[in-house]
Amino acid sequence: FSAPIVFARSVQDVAINYWNTWIFDITFGMSFIGIRLYIPFVVLLVGMIIAFGYQGLLFPDLPF
């Protein structure tokens, strides 16, 4: 967390800094959580694409 009061010179600066900090925390937090949630799905998707692409070479006995 950042400290918005330290760099403020008036009440309006405090409010603006709090607003910007809140917006940044919301957007950065959501993007960070989204990236952490997307990584397993991306790895799984790439693995499935590779597996289905090379299934004839790697697993010739499987019936799919």
In a domain, 3, yes or no: no
Per-residue pLDDT band at 1 (split at 50, 70, 90): very low
In a domain, 47, yes or no: yes
Domain that holds residue 52: 11-58
pLDDT exceeds 60 at position 2? no
In a domain, 4, yes or no: no
| Exposure letters 14-49 (e unless 16+ CB within 10 A, then b) | eeebeeeeeeeeeeeeeeeeeeeeeeeeeeeeeeee
Is 19:5 a contact under the CB 8 Å cutoff? no
pLDDT tens digits for 3-59? 555 555 666 677 777 777 777 777 776 666 666 777 788 888 888 888 777 766 666
Count of structural domains, the chain: 1
In a domain, 2, yes or no: no
In a domain, 64, yes or no: no
In a domain, 24, yes or no: yes
Q: What's the residue count for the chain? A: 64
- pLDDT of 49 reads 82
Instruction: Return the sign of the alpha-carbon dihedral for residues 44, 48, 54, 56.
Output: positive
- pLDDT of 23 reads 74
pTM tops 0.85: no
